[in-house]
Amino acid sequence: MLREEYPRPELVRNTDWQNLNGSWDFAFDDAKRGMIENWPRNGLPQSLKRSIEVPFAFQSSLSTIHINEQHDHVWYSREFRLAPVGADKQVLLHFGAVDYATKVFVNGAFVGEHSGGETPFCFDITEALNPETTSQSLCVYVEDRSTDETIPRGKQAWMKPQGSIWYTNTTGIWQTVWLEAVNRRRIQSVQFTSLFDQDSEQTEIALSDEAIGSKLHCKITFKNQVVAEDEMLVVTSSIKRAYDLIQNHILRTYTHDDGWTWTPEHPNLFTVEFTLTSADDSKKVLDHVTSYFGFREVTTENGMIYLNRRPYYQRLVLDQGYWPDGILTAPSDEAFVQDIKMAKAMGFNGCRKHQKLEDPRFLYWADKLGFLVWEEVASAPYFSKKMSTRLIQEYEDAVTRDYNHPSIIVWVPLNESWGVNKIHLSVQQQHFAETLYHLLHTLDTTRLVGSNDGWENTTADIVTLHNYLHGKSEDDPKYRRFKASMADQTGLLTQPDAAWAVMAKGYHYQGQPLILTEFGGVKTQPSDTGSADQYFNDADKAAFLKQLRMEMAAITASSALWGYCFTQLADVEQEVNGLLTADRRAKLPLEEYHQIFAIKPLSRPTVHSESPESDR
């Protein structure tokens, strides 16, 4: 199954790119022979070679191998065809994500290496190409030490047998591999920052050094109408401009309609075109890219989260980003669209992408369809200097990749003390949590940053809580304590049944928004008596509905909570506590879910997420 979508939606070149997904040669290298025997030049041994479908990991069924075994050293190879490029061009080889450490060879020559399982990387392979032929060889070596607890791996199991909340591993290539031929005089990246008070958008453009002396044209459109246009001589490789978005009458006409800011209810997006031309001949196009941005602001005030200066209650669902046939890799773009549309139909306005940096294609659809995202990089199981260095690098790369997506409103640096299990008392681990918080704010001024999601919070813009102790009936003592703890700020901050303190020692709640970021987790099994499309018999269905309504009644009555995240969107392997089955069939009609999860909080201001966008 070929993933054909353009893999980098925030910087699109429609020409001169080639998708390298599809059938590759593949080999396990448990004996670590590949480097010694120079497989990049000599080829994979016939005795070990098999076929794999990229970008699916060998553990998945869509890879066509489907072996859930430990193989820490794997190789990929394939031929690709590329017409000769002129002296003014470079060929870049891109990898969306490879888990975990990668070395890449073209025509037997080493072209680069990368460590990190969730972030993209690319290499200039121009000099490694064979100019005598259009056929080129590509070889990729991946090392993914399955039991190394310093590697950020999230929900991937690192112990056997796997079970509990840990899932099948992903080893090797799991996002799109692709080529693009680019001009040496080109646009390298763009970054958009909404200057909300000024009704303007700040644009930062990075160009190659060779582009100095060219002309850059920028055009911003909204609903096919030009709202700003600019042309400049490139005198430096880094350009920063702020564009007044209401400098003429065009956007003012939307002020009293559904507005032009970005929200889940009105996911307005601006299209941006950048054209780089020769200074001597404006008709000679050197580079042309398209991008987009959503004009929005995220802040906190008086214990509430604000979106575009209006209180915005978070109705989130925990999304693990696993599929039964692709594991971490969605089978198609349509799978992302389906997840978002079904979540919205169930009454949610966003998700917490749990322990996974999701494919940029998901974020593109979240931007386009209107869906909030709390984003987090996978945690590592064990604290060490190596682990902290790896996680910091992953977050730096994640911010670089995802800065422009308006749907992302919160960074979640850590989860449930994973990898920082002594954080309550350990000053060293507290400093690490503080480092991530300040690093993310240093790199990104446009989003909120959490701390150790669930408990033992340190410095954070929001304080997050996890509580699965809801009981099974209204008469259950557990439920009475759950309801009482949800009721007000005092109960939330103490949570008498909780095994962990809300704040790490030495830290104190300072009035931040309180969010219940995990609860629910109600396990369900298919009915033995129901039809293929019926997950419950009538008694089970009634009990499940009662449980969901009971939990949500306690949460929506809270005078202190400013949002929730329900566990979870879909079943994943042995965790059968999803609202949907693993293959995305709804266990109950979506309308019934909507009646439960779309309820407005009872003790919140009258302005909620459904408010019209009349302020812009």
Please report whether residue 609 resides in a domain: no
| Count of Cβ atoms closer than 10 Å to residue 101 Cβ | 16
- What is the Cα–Cα distance from 82 to 131, expressed in whole angstroms? 10
Q: What 3-state DSSP class applies to 372? A: strand
Structural domain count of the chain: 3
- What is the Cα–Cα distance from 76 to 498, expressed in whole angstroms? 47
- Whether residues 256 and 376 fall in one domain: no
- Whether residues 281 and 401 fall in one domain: no
Structure tokens at 119: 């972030």
Sequence-distant (≥ 6) Cβ neighbours of residue 405 within 8 angstroms:
10, 360, 363, 364, 366, 367, 373
Question: What's residue 614's pLDDT?
Answer: 39
Question: What's residue 2's pLDDT?
Answer: 56
- Beta strands across the sheet bearing 310-311: 298-301, 304-307, 310-311
Structure tokens at 541: 């269905």
Sequence-distant (≥ 6) Cβ neighbours of residue 87 within 8 angstroms:
none
Range of the domain at 74: 17-183
Residue 226 has pLDDT above 80, yes or no: yes
Residue 609 has pLDDT above 70, yes or no: no
Residue 257 has pLDDT above 80, yes or no: no
Please report, for residues 268, 295, 307, 406, 484, the alpha-carbon distance to residue 304 in angstroms, rounded to integers and kept in the order given: 24, 20, 10, 19, 21
Are 555 and 491 a contacting pair, CB within 8 Å?
Answer: no
- What is the Cα–Cα distance from 44 to 143, expressed in whole angstroms? 16
Question: What's residue 248's pLDDT?
Answer: 63
Please report whether residue 605 resides in a domain: no
Residue 341 has pLDDT above 60, yes or no: yes
Structure tokens at 536: 């419950």
Lowest mean pLDDT among 9-23, 187-201, 242-256: 242-256
- What is the Cα–Cα distance from 513 to 299, expressed in whole angstroms? 10
| 359-387 average pLDDT score | 97
- What is the Cα–Cα distance from 400 to 403, expressed in whole angstroms? 6
Question: What's residue 591's pLDDT?
Answer: 96
- Owner of token pair 């002020």: 255
- Whether residues 155 and 212 fall in one domain: no
Nearest to 70, CA basis, from 145, 174, 164: 145
The CATH number linked to 107 is 2.60.120.260
- 264-265-267 Cα angle (round to 5): 60
Q: How confident is the model at residue 249 (pLDDT cuts 50, 70, 90)?
A: low
Query: pLDDT tens, 264-277?
Result: 999 999 999 999 99
**Residues 125, 131, 136, 140, CA torsion sign:** negative
Query: pLDDT tens, 34-48?
Result: 999 999 999 999 999
Higher per-residue confidence, 70 vs 3: 70
Question: What's residue 400's pLDDT?
Answer: 98
- What is the Cα–Cα distance from 519 to 259, expressed in whole angstroms? 34
Structure tokens at 464: 């997050």
- Owner of token pair 């499309």: 533
Q: How confident is the model at residue 525 (pLDDT cuts 50, 70, 90)?
A: confident
Question: What's residue 601's pLDDT?
Answer: 83
Are 260 and 222 a contacting pair, CB within 8 Å?
Answer: yes
Final residue in a domain of this structure, among 152, 183, 214: 183
Report the mean per-residue pLDDT for the chain: 93
Question: Which residues of 396-460 form beta strands (DSSP E)?
Answer: 408-411, 414-415, 448-449, 452-453
Please report whether residue 64 resides in a domain: yes
- Whether residues 416 and 353 fall in one domain: yes
The CATH number linked to 201 is 2.60.40.10
Please report whether residue 7 resides in a domain: no
The CATH number linked to 384 is 3.20.20.80
Sequence-distant (≥ 6) Cβ neighbours of residue 583 within 8 angstroms:
324
Are 544 and 536 a contacting pair, CB within 8 Å?
Answer: yes
Structure tokens at 114: 């990368």
Print the SS3 string covering 139-204: EEEEECCCCCCCCCCCCECCCCCCCCCCECCCCEECCCEEEEEEECCCEEEEEEEEEHHHCEEEEE
Q: How confident is the model at residue 616 (pLDDT cuts 50, 70, 90)?
A: very low
Question: What's residue 259's pLDDT?
Answer: 83
Question: What's residue 524's pLDDT?
Answer: 85
| 178-202 average pLDDT score | 96
Question: What's residue 612's pLDDT?
Answer: 38
Print the SS3 string covering 577-592: CCCECCCCCECCCHHH
Residue 1 has pLDDT above 60, yes or no: no
- Give Rg (Cα) of the chain: 25
Partners of residue 80 on adjacent β-strands: 136
| HSE value, Cβ hemisphere, 13 Å, CA-based, for 113 | 9
Query: pLDDT tens, 408-439?
Result: 999 999 999 999 999 999 999 999 999 999 99
- Whether residues 22 and 131 fall in one domain: yes
Please report whether residue 286 resides in a domain: yes
Partners of residue 8 on adjacent β-strands: none
Question: What's residue 530's pLDDT?
Answer: 52
- Whether residues 176 and 195 fall in one domain: no
Q: How confident is the model at residue 62 (pLDDT cuts 50, 70, 90)?
A: very high
Question: What's residue 607's pLDDT?
Answer: 43
- Whether residues 269 and 157 fall in one domain: no
Q: What percentage of the chain has pLDDT greater than the value 70?
A: 94
Please report whether residue 606 resides in a domain: no
Please report whether residue 509 resides in a domain: yes
Residue 534 has pLDDT above 70, yes or no: no
Final residue in a domain of this structure, among 183, 201, 216: 183
Please report whether residue 344 resides in a domain: yes
Judged by phi (left if over 0) then psi (alpha if -120 to 50, else beta), residue 137 lies in beta
Q: How confident is the model at residue 539 (pLDDT cuts 50, 70, 90)?
A: confident
Question: What's residue 5's pLDDT?
Answer: 87
Residue 513 DSSP one-character state: P
Residue 533 has pLDDT above 80, yes or no: no
- Whether residues 545 and 431 fall in one domain: yes
Instruction: Tell me the residue type at 220.
Output: I
Sequence-distant (≥ 6) Cβ neighbours of residue 249 within 8 angstroms:
none
**Residues 57, 406, 520, 518, CA torsion sign:** positive
Final residue in a domain of this structure, among 226, 258, 293: 293
- Whether residues 264 and 402 fall in one domain: no
- Whether residues 156 and 237 fall in one domain: no
Query: pLDDT tens, 77-125?
Result: 999 999 888 999 999 999 999 999 999 999 999 999 999 999 999 999 9
Residue 615 has pLDDT above 50, yes or no: no
- 537-540-545 Cα angle (round to 5): 120
| HSE value, Cβ hemisphere, 13 Å, CA-based, for 161 | 3
Give the global pTM: 0.95
Question: What's residue 610's pLDDT?
Answer: 45
Lowest mean pLDDT among 141-150, 443-452, 509-518, 523-532: 523-532
Query: pLDDT tens, 478-495?
Result: 999 999 999 999 999 998
- Whether residues 443 and 375 fall in one domain: yes
Residue 469 DSSP one-character state: -
- Whether residues 192 and 333 fall in one domain: no
Question: What's residue 250's pLDDT?
Answer: 64
Are 262 and 160 a contacting pair, CB within 8 Å?
Answer: no
Helix axes 590-597, 333-345, angle to 10 degrees: 60
Q: What 3-state DSSP class applies to 242? A: strand
